[in-house]
Amino acid sequence: MTTGGHGTDGVERRGLMFVLSSPSGAGKTTLSRLLIERMPGLKMSVSATTRAMRPGEVNGKDYTFVDKTTFDAMVKADELLEWATVFDNSYGTPRGPVDAALSAGQDVLFDIDWQGTQQLKQKARADVVSVFILPPSAADLEKRLHSRAQDSDEVIRKRMSRASDEMSHWAEYDYIVINHDVDEAFAEVQSILKAERLKRERRIGLVGFVRSLQAQLQG
């Protein structure tokens, strides 16, 4: 699925798909923004959704907001790499920008639910690194949903009642991070990405690099 880009050490590497999932409000968006700000070579996948725009959200940046007819047409035209119904709305990952970023040697960051993660893994298991973010407690999760101040009480109730279901998929993920403190959780997620970038299997330029080292040593 992916071609190669170059790591900071100049060795060619396959791009990876870095997935964050969690129950609503555990902190995926917060951690994603920090990752994009601080990790060069990482591009955010902007999902399409039929959900209404929240105050402060920007069309094309936070999501591409579309109506249901447009979303269904995207599914039919096979324009989505994965898609799912979450909290009664449709969400999906446009395929084009992901393919373009991976082909340009970038890694791609996804903020998607467990259904989307399963679909990505079915398509490209070796290139997917998945992280599940847990809140420190149910009370903290509820407090965070309220403190975000962007959803009605009814929407928050619905998201809290679905949190346990979403959380039941934690064991399908490669890594688990408990988001007590944003800085600590960010440091953990950043370490995972840095280590995964160094995995031997992804570093397709290593064979050539080692051969050239050996030639120098023999030479």
Ligand X SMILES: Nc1ncnc2c1ncn2[C@@H]1O[C@H](COP(=O)(O)OP(=O)(O)OP(=O)(O)O)[C@@H](O)[C@H]1O
Ligand Y SMILES: Nc1nc2c(ncn2[C@@H]2O[C@H](COP(=O)(O)O)[C@@H](O)[C@H]2O)c(=O)[nH]1
Which amino acid, one-letter code, is at 197? R
Q: Within 13 A of 112's CA, how many CA atoms are on the CB side?
A: 35
* β-bridge pairing 4-6 and 12-14: antiparallel
x-or-dash string of contact with ligand X, 148-167, rule CB under 6 A? x-------------------
**91 interacts with ligand Y by CB under 6 A:** yes
Q: What count of residues does the chain have?
A: 219
Residue 70 tokens, joined: 């447009």
Residue in the structure block whose two tokens are 């402060």: 56
Say which entry of ligand X, ligand Y, none residue 113 contacts (CB below 5 to 8 A, set by partner kind). ligand Y
Helix axes 153-167, 138-148, angle to 10 degrees: 140
22 annotated to bind ligand: yes
x-or-dash string of contact with ligand Y, 43-62, rule CB under 6 A? ----x---x-----------
Of 12, 107, 113, 127, the one binding ligand Y by CB under 6 A: 113
Give the residue with the Cβ less far from ligand X, 102 or 177: 177
State the alpha helices, DSSP H only, in 53-113: 68-76, 95-103
Q: Which stretch binds ligand Y (CB under 6 A): 70-78, 108-116, 141-149, 181-189?
A: 108-116
Say which entry of ligand Y, ligand X, none residue 107 contacts (CB below 5 to 8 A, set by partner kind). none
Binding residues for ATP: 22-29
Known binding-site residues equal: 22-29
